[in-house]
Structure 1
Amino acid sequence: MAAAKGLEMARVAAVILAGGAGSRMGGADKGLLDYQGRPLIEWVLAALTPQVEEIVISANRNLDTYATYGQRVLPDTLPDYPGPLAGVLAAFDAVNADWLVVVPCDTPHLPADLALRLLGAAQLECVPLAVAADAARVHHSCFIVRTDQRDHLAAFLARGERAVRHWQAGLASTTVRFEAACFANVNQPGDLQP
């Protein structure tokens, strides 16, 4: 109940990371690939919409198509496609929220309580970052972070750093355990099959 109350009091936004090159998918824009009858972006939007006040989509191509989903679409503000953290930085600059939930566009089965549980854990531990995990591994691309960490991220990127897990290692954090199936992602053409 404390976590639910905290979620009501905190302003929570989300960014869906759809700005990658899709190199393992033959250059396809992964968020727009069909998965069980609808594009991957629709699965992620359906999971997140009830959980947060605002959603933005980080994308670097097909901007008009992503815009048809009714959310703001944010291209990277940094040159040369420096990776998913550039999308997080663009979201930090765009949303009006205390916390930002970050998820990739290729994870269609996100848990319905992702934001609630990540936020609750971060607040309970008094840390600015909570990262999803399962029994076997940490899912560094699914996390919640306080938006006051924007300058920390900008400095990390300005040093030429790119790895999400390395940026996260510089922040006090906690992990939250979920079922592994929640984070099954689509990385190769064969993953699109049910």
Structure 2
Amino acid sequence: MPDTVAVILAGGEGRRMGGNKPLQHLGAERLIDIAISQVRGWNIEVAVAVRYAGQVPGIDVPEICDAEFEGPLAGLAAALRWAGSLRADYLLVVPCDTPGLPSDLPARLMAAAVAASAPSFARSMGGDHPECAIWPVTAAAQVEAFAAEGGRSLTGALERCGAIAADWSGETGDPFVNLNTQADIQRFRSGRP
């Protein structure tokens, strides 16, 4: 796999969750710790994108503070700059609130990205998951331009860059279940999506 680093998006406020989402627990572990463990399982260098330094205490990976604008695109822009500073070719982006990510996520996203010479994102069960994507670091300028024009969404940035979907449809269950509320956590814990 080309030189790839990863960033976990963890800057959201988590209002529906009842507070700082990365610090919420799924059983004995915090969501952020589960996400870090997943990425480390892929043997990829990892950092966490946050709104402000110290937002996610107790982690042993670098924190990357969001860019000067709002929304999830801020985390992506800051992460692409970080990946560029490490001279990485690609950036894998995953959210902190999707604990069931498939083990083949990096390989399948990378295969799609290399084949298309563009970013790739996950799709499953008819839904797109723009927060689970691989970005060529060379897309940083396009992302920054999109943000400068007022763009804030990851979907919009993917469209701007001509991204392609890597499809997990047909898998058993949805590996991209996103936890946004305490009820979501309870359902996930009990095995109900």
1:12 corresponds to: 4
Report the residue type matching 2:77 in the other structure. L
1:23 corresponds to: 15
Alignment of 1:116-135 (within 5 A): 116-125=107-116, 127-135=117-125
Report the residue type matching 2:98 in the other structure. T
Report the residue type matching 1:186 in the other structure. L
Shift of 1:161: 1.2
Unaligned stretches of 5+ residues in structure 2: none
Q: How many angstroms apart in 2 are the aligned matches of 1:31 and 1:154?
A: 26
Q: How many angstroms apart in 2 are the aligned matches of 1:21 and 1:36?
A: 21
User: Which stretch shows the higher mean deviation, 144-153 or 68-77?
Assistant: 68-77
Provide TM-score, normalisation by structure 2: 0.87
Shift of 1:65: 4.2
2:81 corresponds to: 93
Q: How many angstroms apart in 1 are the aligned matches of 2:59 and 2:38?
A: 14
1:10-56 Cα shifts (integer Å, max 9, x gaps): 11111100001112223x11111001220001111111113243111
Q: Secondary structure at the match of 2:120?
A: strand
Unaligned stretches of 5+ residues in structure 1: 1-6
1:57 aligns with 2:45: no
**Which consecutive segments of 4 or more residues in structure 1 shift more than 3 A?**
none
2:52·2:66 contact (CA, 8 Å) conserved in 1? no
Q: Secondary structure at the match of 1:187?
A: coil
RMSD, aligned CA = 1.6
User: Aligned pair count?
Assistant: 181
1:4 corresponds to: none
2:159 corresponds to: 169
Provide TM-score, normalisation by structure 1: 0.87
